[in-house]
Every structure is written in structure tokens, then in C-alpha cells.
Amino acid sequence: QVQLVQSGAEVKKPGSSVKVSCRAPGDTLSNYGVSWVRQAPGQGFEWMGGIIPIFGTTNYAQKFQGRVTLTTDESANTIYLELSSLRPEDTAIYYCARERTLYSGYAAIWGQGTLVTVSS
Amino acid sequence: DIQMTQSPSTLSASVGDTITITCRASQSISNWLAWLQQKPGKPPKVLIYKASILESGVPSRFSGSESGTEFTLTISGLQPDDFATYYCQQYNSWTFGQGTKVEIK
């Protein structure tokens, strides 16, 4: 069964950057659309952006334009989310999510989540 | 952005009940609508996609329907494992409803 494995929790200072990874052991992650979604404590979900590595395409939510970057390391079968200029309100659980098949569109498989805490 | 208005925010029910959760899109999303279930401390799990198609492995007591821009999730015969928070998600441009917490009455 396909699973997504994310990197561990991070604690960051305001103004710094964080890079979270998402890999799929035994699967080729670059063949699918992968999105990143975050969930602030006790809150709902917020889409940040998506990437289709096989086509080299990225799409970012307007709210995060200029602060978020999605990249791929195909040799490591890993996708990265980098968020810069961190503020306390960026404290959240960050999830990667893969679509079931290319262009099916919906988030069929989710990572376990990575807690990012931004605090001075 | 497409807004998804989900109701109710909380629903109290008993095992065996049939419950309904509704989501309304602010504009047409065709049937690009998924229903997700989330339990505390866990990532979401997809139940239904394309408004009414059951994801593999999901029990048949879950069902989805659509009428224009209004979408409904029905759980027929609530089981103890179903007490959780449910979210609708339009995946045309990826926005989510605010969630419905289903709690034990």
C-alpha cells in the first residue's frame, strides 16, 4: 500500500525558513500530482500549492506566492516544501497529499503530517 | 476563490443513526468534490470523490450526492468508528469546507 512519509517536526524562529520533505517508499512520486496543505491548530485546511514533477509544473496559492517553493529530487523520490519569512501564524501541521492517478485531482493519499512551530 | 460552506459545524448522533452533512459551493465545481474524514492526531482519509464515488475500501454506509452546487454526505447506520470530523473539498482549485464534527449524543 502506497504511503507518504514526511520529515519530522520543526521549531523555527520568525523570519527564518523551513523545508519539509515528502517521500514515497517503493513508489515513483514524480508521476503524480502532489499538493501541500496545512492545518493550523484546531482549524481547517488551507491549500498552499501543487507540483507535477514529471511535467515540471508548479501552482501556488496566491496567498503564499513569493514565500513558498515546491521542488523535487527525483533521485531521492522526494518532494520538498520550502516556506520562507516565517511568522507565528504559520504554526501548523503541513501535509503532502498525492492524487490517486495522474489528473484524478483528489487527494487520495496523505502523509502523516509535519508540525512546524514558529516561535521566538 | 471558490468558497465551500459546510453545515452543520457540529452534529450529535447515536450509533445506528443516519446523518447528513451538506456542502454548498459558491460557484459551479462540476462534480470535483471529495469528502474527507479526520480523526484527532491523524491525517485526513478520503471517503468519496467525484461527489458520489466511494473510495476503495470505504464502507458502503457512506454515500454522496449532488444537486447543482449543493453536495451531501450521508452516513447510514452510524458506527462507533464514524465519530470524527468530516470535511468537503472541491478539487477544481482546492478549497475546503470548515468541517463538521460528529459527536456522540
Ramachandran angles phi, psi of B24, nearest 5°: -120, 130
Residue of A nearest to B42 (CA): A112
Residues 15-74 of A with CB under 8 A from B: 35, 37, 44-47, 50, 61
pLDDT of the residue at A70: 97
Mutate to test the interface with A, among B6, B92, B94 (most CBs of A within 10 A): B94
Indicate if the pLDDT at residue B87 is higher than 90: yes
Would an 8 Å CB–CB cutoff place A105 in contact with chain B? yes
Would an 8 Å CB–CB cutoff place A9 in contact with chain B? no
pLDDT of the residue at A56: 87
Indicate if the pLDDT at residue B67 is higher than 90: yes
pLDDT of the residue at A28: 87
pLDDT tens, residue by residue, B18-42? 999 999 999 999 999 999 999 999 9
Cβ within 8 Å, pair A108-B91: no
Chain B residues near residue A107 by CB distance under 8 angstroms: 34, 36, 44, 46, 89, 91
Region A34-52 average pLDDT: 95
Cell of A13: 524562529
Contact between residue A18 and residue A92 where contact means Cβ atoms under 8 Å apart? no
Indicate if the pLDDT at residue A34 is higher than 90: yes
pLDDT of the residue at A90: 98
How far is C-alpha A65 from the geometric centre of its chain's CA atoms?
Answer: 14
pLDDT of the residue at B40: 95
Cβ within 8 Å, pair A37-B94: yes
Ramachandran angles phi, psi of A64, nearest 5°: -105, 0
pLDDT tens, residue by residue, A55-83? 989 999 999 999 999 999 988 899 999 99
Contact between residue B23 and residue B5 where contact means Cβ atoms under 8 Å apart? yes
For residue B90, what pLDDT band results from cuts at 50, 70 and 90?
very high
Residues linked to residue B80 through DSSP beta bridges, in sequence order: none
Which one has a higher pLDDT value, A58 or A28? Answer: A58
Q: Which residues contact B79 (CB under 8 A, 6 or more apart)?
A: B15, B59, B61
